[in-house]
Structure 1
Amino acid sequence: MTTDLTQPPSPADLLATMPFAVRLGITLHEATCARTTGSLPWSPELCTAGGVLHGGALMALADAVGAVCGYLNLPAGSGTSTVESKTNFFRAVRSGALHATATPLHVGGTLIVVQTELQDDDGRPVGQTTQTQIVLAAKLPVQS
């Protein structure tokens, strides 16, 4: 992802840049540099044994929402890539939807660290992800 935020993109436009997130059914609700939110509805195709939403689905939601938050904190013309991500799981999701709220913990010239809180429909904590994203400088055009 590379950014040019002369006109902030809508949550739908940001989501459209991530086909995997779209395929999973993730929705972005809010997307600002201070806070990004999204959700993923429970579905049997995203579950492990016993109808429990798979940990990978939880991590995919946290990664997508956190990546958008990081992206919106980039300097103009630069890009980003996740270099580290850690998730703690607190409880299972067996119905409803999973909700994510990402906020930046650190925005620097080299690294951006984002924390994403995961909650169920009742507002109970489901997990927490902390991801570190590297800031990739804009590539200069090749001179011939």
Structure 2
Amino acid sequence: MNADKEKILSIITERCKKTLMETLNIEYTELGEDYLIAKMPVTPKVHQPDGVLHGGAMVALAESVGSAASYIFLNTSEFFVRGIEISANHVKSIREGEVFAKATIIHKGRTTQLWEIKITDKDGNLVSVSKLTTIALPKEK
């Protein structure tokens, strides 16, 4: 990874201090031309009562990586980003290890952006897929 990408990953990681992302131990790991990848450990802390990864934790991971990707790929000196809709389909249970979320841009409009976030296990098996819509709102001058 080149130095610019490492610097960007460092900046978004720093922005997550004392937030839900830190609580869930979400770590941004890879940045590409049109995607961002993050990982999250699967421990009892993010389980539902029957011992599998909670769907809400997966949605929180998906929105976190999609919103961070919008932050990276938009001119945030002029705009701030908010998630306005998310939908998720959970297709596989997981009890331990890590999950990896890859946010890829589907539509990059001036105002709205549409992201696909695929969450997989360490073997690349699909665990959940989400669609996230973000909006870029102008900052007051």
Using structure 1 for the length normalisation, give the TM-score.
0.86
Separation (CA, whole Å) in 2 of partners of 1:114 and 1:70: 9
Alpha-carbon shift at residue 138 of structure 1 (Å): 2.3
Separation (CA, whole Å) in 1 of partners of 2:78 and 2:25: 29
Map 1:86-97; keep pairs closer than 5 Å: 86-97=87-98
Gaps of 5+ in 1: 1-6
Separation (CA, whole Å) in 1 of partners of 2:107 and 2:90: 23
Q: Which residue of 2 aligns with 1:121?
A: 122
Q: Which residue of 1 aligns with 2:85?
A: 84
Using structure 2 for the length normalisation, give the TM-score.
0.87
Please tell me the root mean square deviation across aligned C-alpha atoms, in Å: 1.6
Separation (CA, whole Å) in 2 of partners of 1:72 and 1:31: 9
User: Does the 8 A contact of 1:32 with 1:72 survive in 2?
Assistant: no
Separation (CA, whole Å) in 2 of partners of 1:84 and 1:46: 22
Map 1:1-144; keep pairs closer than 5 Å: 9-18=7-16, 19-32=19-32, 34-75=34-75, 76-140=77-141
Q: Secondary structure at the match of 2:73?
A: coil
Q: Secondary structure at the match of 1:139?
A: coil
Which contiguous aligned blocks of 4+ residues in structure 1 show a shift greater than 6 angstroms? none
User: Does the 8 A contact of 1:38 with 1:101 survive in 2?
Assistant: yes
Aligned letter for 1:70? S
Q: If each structure's strand is expressed as a fraction of its own residues, which one has the higher value?
A: 2
Q: Which residue of 2 aligns with 1:4?
A: none
Separation (CA, whole Å) in 2 of partners of 1:138 and 1:81: 12
With over 3 angstroms needed to count, the CA separation of the structure-2 counterparts of 1:33 and 1:14, relative to structure 1, is: farther
